[in-house]
Amino acid sequence: MLDGAAWQRHKGPLIVQLQYIWGSVVAINKIVEARADAVSGVKDGSTVLISGFGAAGVPTDLIHALLDQGARDLTVVSNNAGTGDRGLAALLKEGRVRRIVCSYPRSAGSVAFDELYAAGKIELELVPQGTLSERMRAAGAGIPAFYTPTSVGTQLAEGKEVREIDGREYVLEYALKGDVALVQAEKADRWGNLVYNKSARNFGPVMATAADLTIVEARQIVELGEIDPEIVVTPGVFVDRVFHVPAVAAAA
Amino acid sequence: MAMEAAVQDNAAKKMTRNQVAWRAANEIPDGSYVNLGIGLPTTCANFMPEDREIVLHSENGILGVGPAPEPGTEDPELINASKDPITLVPGGSFFVHSDAFVMIRGGHIDLALLGAFEISEKGDLANWTTENPKFPPGVGGAMDLAAGAKQVWVLTDHVTRKGAPKIVNSCSYPLTAKQVVTKIFTDLAVIDVTDKGLVVREMAEGLTLAGLQELTEPELTLAPDCGILSAPVL
């Protein structure tokens, strides 16, 4: 076993890869150095949760890594449907997305989505925003379904089970789980503890809990302990891989 | 168009969009937690009364939304439901989207200000789809707010661009929720939705009830203390 002092000596910046050290001690290091490794193993037909609200909190580099990786026939879960020609819009334009689950696809510059939609080349599942986030929260918490008053009596509740509880009607909604989540964060450490920046946090923390494989794009990588444990937003247990995308590169 | 004709006949002083936002903002009770929906409602943050403490909520995980930033100080990671840059007031906080909707769906938000395609006499709201096959629908947080906020007020032009009433007997577009709107702020009037029908609380200067009725499908009644709809030049 490693005593405390030896561990401190061993702990350097960005400890390389998961490794076995003396006996049973395992260094948990979720940091992935190569862009291609960050998204390796994503299969065709996957459901991919993508963080962001408008342009804030979108993991643009990971989306482009996924574009290069080649997975297709994807179901993308994202609040909006991308704008311009980068990020989700690029994935849409390349025809990688069969189906999109979102609350508000339309926005200034959502040209790629709008064209596919008008041409009938993409399936849209429109979900109320709170139901969308709650379905992922449920998936992350092991809850298979829940009742909500949102959408009762509307087209979006058609075909769904409705149940009266204490005199009010509720719609049954099912958990929404991802095979993969792509999340943008401000800071991460090698255990995958995360903090976010302002309203770029949005869907990141809930999506991180709701996928089998959670991949994070972080602006800064810090040492274990540098993030005050009182302010960790996403504890590392929810995170599988962390890829460093400095702010300058992300802006380019 | 009917709208212009009626307005001209009555020489009514229409409110600008900013003035509608100002008027609605000035109706909000002190101490309220208020969600501002996409479009015109988000601009209310620029016109909040200074003598009241009102906490503005944004669906993307913000409490304590302040007015728009000075030009040149915008932060792309500090935005509202309309994706426009905002500021945060002291005491403000950020949280995950699912908590933003725990606040909305769990009944913690006193009031939601929303836009509308149509509002019915009973307070039914339609604001998410026009069913145009070429034009994707967008529901955002509207159905959550309509179901979860304690009150829903609507801010809208009184009529469509073609001059047709937006306040109608029964909504022709698919509903966002039934019987949720309690107050309507338009460029021509402030209207309460009550058990006894639509009650006009304020009307633009120069407008008569008959003139307003021409632009409104359901029958309107005049509040005994109906005042003039006015706002500062904004």
CA distance A74 to A98: 6
Distance of CA A79 to CAs A22, A53, A180, Å? 46, 6, 16
Asked whether residue A158 is assigned to any structural domain, the reply reads no
Place of tokens 């998204």: A39
Number of other residues whose CB lies within 10 A of the CB of residue B144? 32
Q: By CA distance, what is B142's nearest residue in A?
A: A128
Q: To 10 degrees, what angle do helices A129-141 and B97-105 make?
A: 110
- Give A20-49 pLDDT, tens digit per residue: 445 555 589 999 999 999 999 999 999 999
Dihedrals φ, ψ of A8, to 5°?
Answer: -60, -40
Asked whether residue A159 is assigned to any structural domain, the reply reads no
- Give B213-222 pLDDT, tens digit per residue: 999 999 999 9
Asked whether residue A92 is assigned to any structural domain, the reply reads yes
Residue % of chain A over a pLDDT of 70: 88
- Give B130-158 pLDDT, tens digit per residue: 999 888 999 999 999 999 999 999 999 99
- Give A72-117 pLDDT, tens digit per residue: 999 999 999 998 889 999 999 999 999 999 999 988 889 999 999 9
What secondary structure letter does DSSP report for A165? Answer: E
Number of other residues whose CB lies within 10 A of the CB of residue B151? 16
CA distance B207 to B188: 8
What pLDDT score was predicted for residue A23? 52
- Give B163-180 pLDDT, tens digit per residue: 999 999 999 999 999 999
Between A179 and A15, residue with greater pLDDT? A179
The pLDDT confidence band at residue A2, using thresholds 50, 70 and 90, is very low
Determine whether the interchain pair B79/A130 forms a contact, defined as Cβ–Cβ distance below 8 Å: no
- Give A184-217 pLDDT, tens digit per residue: 999 999 999 999 999 999 999 999 999 999 999 9
Residue % of chain B over a pLDDT of 90: 93
Residue % of chain A over a pLDDT of 90: 84
Per mean pLDDT, which range of A158-167, B5-14, B33-42 is the poorest? B5-14
Q: Name the nearest CA neighbour of A110 among A64, A74, A136, A78.
A: A78
> Which contiguous run of DSSP H or E holds residue A247?
helix A247-251
Mean pLDDT along residues A61-79 = 98
For chain B, which domains are there? 2-229 (3.40.1080.10)
CATH of the domain at A76: 3.40.1080.10
Q: What is chain A's mean pLDDT, rounded?
A: 91
Asked whether residue A215 is assigned to any structural domain, the reply reads yes
CA distance B112 to B104: 9
CA distance A245 to A45: 26
Identify the domain containing residue A127 by its residue range: 4-132+175-251
β-pairing, B197-204 vs B189-194, is antiparallel
Nearest-CA distance B81 → chain A (Å): 9
> Which contiguous run of DSSP H or E holds residue A20?
strand A19-21
CA distance A194 to A184: 10
- A217, A10 contact by CB (below 8 A): no
Mean pLDDT along residues B170-195 = 98
Prediction ipTM score? 0.92
Provide CB contacts within 8 A for B69, sequence distance 6+.
Answer: B75, B78, B85, B86, B87
CA distance A19 to B183: 63
- A117, B136 contact by CB (below 8 A): yes
- Give B10-46 pLDDT, tens digit per residue: 468 999 999 999 999 999 999 999 999 999 999 999 9
Asked whether residue A185 is assigned to any structural domain, the reply reads yes
* Identity of the residue in A150, A201, A206 whose CB atom sits nearest the CB atom of B143: A150
- Is A202 an interface residue toward B (CB < 8 Å)? yes
What pLDDT score was predicted for residue B72? 97
Asked whether residue A83 is assigned to any structural domain, the reply reads yes
Give the residue numbers in B contacting A (CB under 8 Å), as ranges. 38, 58-62, 75-79, 83, 88, 94-98, 100-101, 104-105, 129, 133-144, 147-148, 174-178
What pLDDT score was predicted for residue A203? 98
The beta-strand segments (E) located in B53-206 are 55-58, 62-66, 87-94, 111-114, 118-120, 125-126, 151-155, 167-168, 181-185, 189-194, 197-204
Can you read off the two tokens belonging to residue B133? 């096959």
Number of domains in chain A: 1
